[in-house]
Amino acid sequence: MDIKTRFQAATSCSFVKIATLEIERKYPIIRAERVETRFGPAVLLTILDAPIKSIKVFLPKRYSAVMTDEDIDDINSERVSLKLIYKGTCVKTKSYILTIE
């Protein structure tokens, strides 16, 4: 992503719930960060919703727990290019199902 696009995306970013993401859509991850929330530590992802529109989503704790600081550095330094995919919710537990590719 070029500097112009990143600059525009920085001003048009909003927070959304994972459940509002489109099922099976591949959202490019452009930034990841560890943050402290009132519920404890979490990972906040900035993903692209449109070519110049970014949105932020908090990963559920079980996914945040497996993401290392090295993974976050790789994403932020653009050494890896990953996409977040929302698969829906589990029928039994009502938990969110996510994958990364």
Q: Domain limits at 44? A: 3-100
Residue 33 has what pLDDT?
A: 95
Indicate the number of domains in the chain: 1
- pTM here? 0.84
Q: What is the pLDDT of residues 55-96, one digit of tens each?
A: 999 999 999 989 999 999 999 999 999 999 999 999 999 999
Segment 13-61, tens digit of pLDDT: 789 999 999 999 999 999 999 999 999 999 999 999 877 788 999 999 9
The pLDDT, as a whole number, for residue 11 is 60
CA 60 to CA 42: how far, in whole Å?
Answer: 8
Contact criterion met (CB below 8 Å) for 49 and 55: yes
Residue 7 has pLDDT above 80, yes or no: no
